[in-house]
Structure 1
Amino acid sequence: MSDLLIELFSEEIPARMQTRAADDLKSRVTDGLVEAGLTYAGAAAFSTPRRLTLAIEGLLDASPIVREVRKGPRTDAPEKAIEGFLRGAGLTRDQLVERDEKKGRVFYAVIERPGRPAPAIIAEVLEQVIRNFPWPKSMRWGDGTLRWVRPLHSILCVLTSEAGSETVPLEIDGITAGNTTRGHRFLAPDVFSVTGFEDYAAKLKRARVILSASERSEAIWHDATNQAFASGLEVVADGGLLAEVAGLVEWPVVLMGEIGADFLALPPEVLQTSMREHQKFFSVKNPATGRIEKFITVANIETADNGATILAGNQKVLAARLSDAKFFWENDLRVARGPGLSVWTDKLADVTFHNKLGSQKDRIERIAALAREIAPAVGADPDLAEQAARVAKADLSSEMVYEFPELQGLMGRYYSDAAGLPPEVAAACQEHYSPLGPSDDVPTAPVSVAVALADKLDTLTGFWAIDEKPTGSKDPYALRRAALGVIRLVVTNSLRLPLTRIFAENSWSTDLLSFFHDRLKVFLKDDGIRHDVIDACLAMPGNDDLTLLINRARALQAVLDTEDGTNLVQGFKRANNILTQAEEKDGVEYSYGADVKYAEEDAEKALFAALDSAEETITPAMVDEDFATAMQAMAALRPAVDAFFTDVQVNADSPVLRRNRLNLLSRIRTICLQVADLTRLDG
């Protein structure tokens, strides 16, 4: 057994590509080794801005000998057939084995392929991986044909065993694999050799390189939070930025700097966004006021002045950036407090939403009308809902949102407050885009809910009207996300909002409702509700009322999760099958007339009583939409149904008994189908 160490050393790899590249290196190399017969005990991949590293433990020293037995023609077969078999097997006639079989003696070829040494296999696999590496973007340099994300400088490929370490012989486009690498570009640029992974990792750290991205992240966060805490402040958590910054440095040096006093009055989100997007700075806030007061930057070098020069340069660049943000903010406030948000809304008449759906201003008019219509159903004031819808997208014309599009909605809230609009309107400006994804918060304020629903429903109905629906994996207008947003808004707020009233009578209404049903299946999957359970509920009246539909599906799934519920469904299906066959055979419908006076067996009489009791509970429960009670009453039929099929012969010799019992089965079907269409359940 041996251990393998691979390092691909290059110019700086973009931070966003590093993690995926390390995973690809691991999977492609290990897959190639295993396919060639080299199994291993474990593997780990690492990345820094200048290197991809793979460490493999417990690798076989050679691929195993392969023994294959091939059956050939009979010994008395034509000579040409035997010669063809020999060519395919790569053997001579005297190497064949003869065996007796039922149809005579048959030739067999026993082929043994010797194993190959690990270095030869590793070299072959690694060259293929490097030449075909799946970088999102790659480049060529010099006169070679090799493509890499940035110029590749060296390849380290060392195989270590108890006998020592050896370099795997490999050469690609003039780059010869060796056992050397380099440390930090500035702090330890000299070449050094390594004998294996432990030696490699230890020497890298001495050379100011932290190999593990997670270790770099932990070091950054530890130092950043400690420095902030020492000043009575705290770092604003930002996992995405932390991962990105850890991919920008090999030896993180955390520095905390000052934000100019002129900029402290900017909204904290503006400061945070500007520093994050342009400088890759972490925001440091005062927990007492929520105000952003300082920043954290991460350098890739230690300096004699403890970073003072670096901070001075960063603060100078930051001041220039924040001066722009301050200018945008003050200009926007003058508009909001002066002419008002309608100035921005009017500008949206010149912004095309879609060439078949008009401008953004046209869309705002539609959303405003729809928000007013929806408002009573969500408990919102219609006037406020319409007012909020008319200004919710005004900030799209603001200078701040033009510079930082990710602040749309949030800036609308600030500008609405500045314009003196009601707080419900300001909240809707910020919240109407939500929820944007499965983890996003769902608005609950009535006016916000009305505008959020109107926004998403206008998008869906508009694109369905022009036949621009998602196809396969393509969804350029994020219509699946919009539908899931509507579902989450409805479910979270327990809204009763029949969708067909909103869709009105249009040729595409049924198709759009079906799209919602498909999205609902995706949404309910996390609740453990099966697709066939939803199908059983979709077949019932009111399937455009998502709240009613979900309540019914959850109640049915809860019953099916019990033994009584599962067994009752089987009893129902048995009753339905017998009844359907009898109706087809007799040409009549057995849907009424079951009378207990014709019951002869105790189990038969007990089923009559059980059905009467269930119906007394189910009928009013369904009127009250108390699906849980109705379905529990349905499940309670299980013992009586089981006993009936055990003790009673449905197709009795007596026509009267047979007809009465078939009509009794019809009662089972009718009562159960009040709750859900159980015929659509699997199994």
Structure 2
Amino acid sequence: MSDFLLELLSEEIPARMQAGARADLERLFAAQLAEHGLKAETIRTYSTPRRLALIATGLPEATEAVSEESKGPPEGAPDQAIDGFCRKLGISRDDLEVRDVKGRATYFAVVNRPGQKTAQILGPVIAAIIRDFPWPKSMRWGAASASSESLRWVRPLQRIVALLGEEIVPVEVAGVKSGAATLGHRFHHPGEITIGGAHDYADKLKMAKVLVDHEERETIVRDGAMKAATEAGYALVEDEGLVIENAGLTEWPVPLLGRFDPDFLHVPEEVIQKTARADQKYFVMRDGERLAPAFVCTANIDSSDPAAVVAGNERVLAARLSDARFFWENDLKVPLESLSAQLGDIVFHEKLGTVADKVDRVAKLARWLAEEKIVDADPDLVERAARLSKNDLVTGLVGEFGELQGIVGGHLARAQGEPDAVADAVRDHYRPVGQSDHVPTEPVTVAVSLADKLDTLVTFFAVNLKPTGSKDPFALRRASLGVLTLMTDRGLRTSLRNVISHALAVLRLKFLADVDVSDVPIYRDYGDRNYVLKAESGVFRFGYGDKTLLEWPDRTSPSLNIKEFVSATKEAESEIWEFLAERLKVQQREVGIRHDLIAAVFALDQEDDVVRILSRVKALQAFIETGEGADLLAGYKRASNILKKEEGSWSSDKVRADGDVEAAEATLLSALNVAEPRAAAALQAEDFTAAMAALASLRGPIDRFFEDVIVNADDAAVRQRRLALLARFRAAVDQVADFSKIEG
């Protein structure tokens, strides 16, 4: 048995690619070994900024000799088929045997393959891995790059170390030949190091100031940053992603404490963190409730003068923070409210107008959510927050730090005297951004966040810019998950269909405000409300009953076909609802809720309260996963199958237990008479567990019914009565959920 070492030395590998490269190298190497009948006892991969390495232990010296038997074409087959069979196996016709297979003479070949030395296998294996390595981004270099056939690698490949035991495995790729020599640290030990084999690889590199084990470097970075912060009297802001990134940027990590001018702390701390972390890869720390004027940088050199290294990093950070302070102080001088007009110069989308148009829609929708008490918030504060929510897009600080939009606006709003509820909503209205993101809890923020996401969703659907397959350029899946998360997390009780309808109505109004709509006075019936658009005294008014929601001057424009637009947005309403239903299934599946149960509840007429849907689904899942639930489902499916075959052959009149009724029929009828009102009352009270318990009482009677009763009796009247009874049983169950959608 021998150990194998492979090192691929190159120019700097981006830190973000190193973990994937390690996994790919291990996967490809193991697969190639398996193809040749080899298997290592262990495979371990390593990476540094300049190298990707692998150590495989316990490789046999050679593969075992094997005898392989292959069945060929029958005797008398065309010569072309027989010769092709021989070529495939590398044999001649003289090597073929003829055997009887079910009375037919058939050619067979027995090929004895001798064992092959592992070293001979590894050379081509390594070359193939290098040529086909799946880097996310790669490049060609040098004179050879003129040809599209030249090697692609993440950065120019410089050396290959390939040692089986202490012997070099011959490999040559793009003019780079394998050997036993590598390079140490670029500054501490730039000369060659001769590796003896896998056994001394890590130790020899360590002597040359290279820690090849990424996990060891991560520990040094993590512990060193913590130690530096503690010794300075601060609390480190832990950041595992930054630990991994710094370990991927260094071969000999040395954490060092630096400081910056406390005057910079007047800049919002998110800006300081962004500057330190994202731009410079520094750790930050806290001094109680506020950010500390200190950081930890990770040097890639064991300097004889660490103070000089720290000073250089301090100068770089100070320059970046000076820029940030300049933008912040300038932005503070301009009232946030005054920036609204500039949003009209930013195109949101060519079919949906400007950011100013979006803000107007969001403000109207958010206010409506508050007025209707869908979100219990002050409508005036909600509208104020919505109208300020995007204004920081035209500030200098967001121009410099685009990912801090919202956060900057929140700080400006607070500094300029806006109520905390407004400032918080401006700051957090983009949230939640993903499944793991913080979900807003403050009512004003919830209203603005929900309106913003609903507007994004409905507007792009309304103009037929929906996600297709894996493409979702406007992040509508993320917006829909945000809508669902806000509604379920905050327990918002409402008809989601009605909310979608109103969001679409606001969008229609933006278009209708610029056209003559005198021929479309009533264009949508939203459940129990008729939303009416009409002209009165030169003003268009929109609302329902005596309530006016919006109004604007009467003006005309021939640029839009109103009927077509209204028709398209009506279609969008159903599509959006279905899209949200699918997103809810995906979201809940990730937390263990069955998608078929969500479909069963969504199938109910008028069930569009997401909070109630999930409560019902959870109760249904708890019930279905019991023995009683599984048996009731089996009885339901049996009843449904019978009814499908006999559809239309029974009356829907009330089933009576008169005359010559079987005991099992009477028992089921009696059980239905009790269970139906109990389930209905429980559903009315939204006690879905009690509703399931009411259904559970039908399990025994339906089982007995199928055991004792022949449904398709010869007597037509009896058959109709029994079918009607099964139909009533099916309807009783379906009032809780559409059991036909449930798998099993």
Q: Is the 8 A contact 1:233 1:285 kept in 2?
A: yes
**CA deviation digits over 1:484-535, x for unaligned, max 9?**
0000000001112323223335221111111111101101102322222122
- Kindly tell me: are residues 295 and 107 of structure 1, through their superposed partners in 2, closer, same or farther at Cα, counting changes over 3 Å? closer
Corresponding residue for residue 41 of structure 1: 41
2:368 to 373, 377, 395: 373
Deviates more, 1:293-302 or 1:188-197: 188-197
How large is the RMSD of aligned CA atoms in angstroms? 2.1
- Kindly tell me: are residues 599 and 430 of structure 1, through their superposed partners in 2, closer, same or farther at Cα, counting changes over 3 Å? farther
Kindly report which structure 2 residues correspond to 1:452-491, keeping only aligned pairs within 5 A, or say none.
Answer: 452-491=449-488
**CA deviation digits over 1:536-586, x for unaligned, max 9?**
111112233222222222221121111101110111121222233334xxx
- Kindly tell me: are residues 60 and 497 of structure 1, through their superposed partners in 2, closer, same or farther at Cα, counting changes over 3 Å? farther
Deviation (angstroms), 1:275 = 1.3
Corresponding residue for residue 665 of structure 2: 604
Letter of the 1:441 counterpart: H
Kindly report which structure 2 residues correspond to 1:276-425, keeping only aligned pairs within 5 A, or say none.
Answer: 276-286=277-287, 288-305=288-305, 307-335=306-334, 340-375=335-370, 376-425=373-422
Corresponding residue for residue 248 of structure 1: 249
Deviation (angstroms), 1:68 = 2.7
Q: Is the 8 A contact 2:491 2:611 kept in 1?
A: yes
For 1:524 and 1:462, locate their aligned partners in 2 and report how far apart those are by CA, in whole Å.
25
Letter of the 2:169 counterpart: V
Letter of the 2:459 counterpart: G
Q: Is the 8 A contact 1:13 1:49 kept in 2?
A: yes
Corresponding residue for residue 8 of structure 1: 8
Kindly report which structure 2 residues correspond to 1:585-624, keeping only aligned pairs within 5 A, or say none.
Answer: 587-598=648-659, 600-624=661-685
Corresponding residue for residue 112 of structure 2: 112
Corresponding residue for residue 577 of structure 2: 513
For 2:254 and 2:75, locate their aligned partners in 1 and report how far apart those are by CA, in whole Å.
78
Letter of the 1:369 counterpart: K
Corresponding residue for residue 733 of structure 2: 672
- Kindly tell me: are residues 503 and 87 of structure 1, through their superposed partners in 2, closer, same or farther at Cα, counting changes over 3 Å? closer
**CA deviation digits over 1:260-291, x for unaligned, max 9?**
133133222221111112222111221x2322
Q: Is the 8 A contact 2:462 2:572 kept in 1?
A: yes
For 2:644 and 2:141, locate their aligned partners in 1 and report how far apart those are by CA, in whole Å.
75
Letter of the 2:635 counterpart: G
Letter of the 1:195 counterpart: G
Letter of the 1:595 counterpart: R
Corresponding residue for residue 209 of structure 1: 210
**CA deviation digits over 1:27-52, x for unaligned, max 9?**
22222222232222221111101110
For 2:14 and 2:155, locate their aligned partners in 1 and report how far apart those are by CA, in whole Å.
9
For 1:77 and 1:273, locate their aligned partners in 2 and report how far apart those are by CA, in whole Å.
74
Deviation (angstroms), 1:176 = 1.7
Deviation (angstroms), 1:77 = 7.2
Letter of the 1:309 counterpart: A
Q: Is the 8 A contact 1:159 1:168 kept in 2?
A: yes
- Kindly tell me: are residues 209 and 670 of structure 1, through their superposed partners in 2, closer, same or farther at Cα, counting changes over 3 Å? same
2:630 to 559, 566, 575: 566
**CA deviation digits over 1:279-309, x for unaligned, max 9?**
22111221x232222011111111222x111
Letter of the 1:62 counterpart: A
Corresponding residue for residue 428 of structure 1: 425
For 1:571 and 1:611, locate their aligned partners in 2 and report how far apart those are by CA, in whole Å.
14
- Kindly tell me: are residues 654 and 55 of structure 1, through their superposed partners in 2, closer, same or farther at Cα, counting changes over 3 Å? same
Q: Is the 8 A contact 1:154 1:176 kept in 2?
A: yes
Q: Is the 8 A contact 1:395 1:411 kept in 2?
A: yes
Q: Is the 8 A contact 1:351 1:360 kept in 2?
A: yes
Deviation (angstroms), 1:17 = 1.7
The question of 1:157 aligning with 2:162 is answered yes
For 2:22 and 2:705, locate their aligned partners in 1 and report how far apart those are by CA, in whole Å.
64
**CA deviation digits over 1:207-253, x for unaligned, max 9?**
21111222211111111111211121011122222211111111111
**CA deviation digits over 1:296-344, x for unaligned, max 9?**
1111111222x11111111122221111111111111122xxxx21222
- Kindly tell me: are residues 82 and 395 of structure 1, through their superposed partners in 2, closer, same or farther at Cα, counting changes over 3 Å? closer
**CA deviation digits over 1:41-99, x for unaligned, max 9?**
22111110111001112223333434332334666778887666655554445533343
Q: Is the 8 A contact 2:392 2:398 kept in 1?
A: yes
Deviates more, 1:219-228 or 1:13-22: 13-22
Letter of the 1:127 counterpart: A
Corresponding residue for residue 239 of structure 2: 238
Q: Is the 8 A contact 1:590 1:666 kept in 2?
A: no
Q: Percent identity?
A: 47
The question of 1:448 aligning with 2:448 is answered no
For 2:38 and 2:2, locate their aligned partners in 1 and report how far apart those are by CA, in whole Å.
11
For 1:495 and 1:540, locate their aligned partners in 2 and report how far apart those are by CA, in whole Å.
20
For 2:170 and 2:422, locate their aligned partners in 1 and report how far apart those are by CA, in whole Å.
70
The question of 1:265 aligning with 2:266 is answered yes
1:545 to 606, 609, 613: 609
Kindly report which structure 2 residues correspond to 1:220-235, keeping only aligned pairs within 5 A, or say none.
Answer: 220-235=221-236
SS in 2 for 1:177: strand
- Kindly tell me: are residues 573 and 38 of structure 1, through their superposed partners in 2, closer, same or farther at Cα, counting changes over 3 Å? same
Corresponding residue for residue 533 of structure 2: none
Letter of the 1:290 counterpart: R
For 2:627 and 2:379, locate their aligned partners in 1 and report how far apart those are by CA, in whole Å.
49
Q: Is the 8 A contact 1:271 1:292 kept in 2?
A: no
For 2:587 and 2:660, locate their aligned partners in 1 and report how far apart those are by CA, in whole Å.
47
Deviation (angstroms), 1:186 = 1.4
Corresponding residue for residue 147 of structure 1: 152
- Please, what TM-score do these two structures have when normalized by structure 1? 0.94
SS in 2 for 1:264: helix
Kindly report which structure 2 residues correspond to 1:2-151, keeping only aligned pairs within 5 A, or say none.
Answer: 2-72=2-72, 89-103=89-103, 105-144=105-144, 145-151=150-156
Letter of the 2:578 counterpart: S
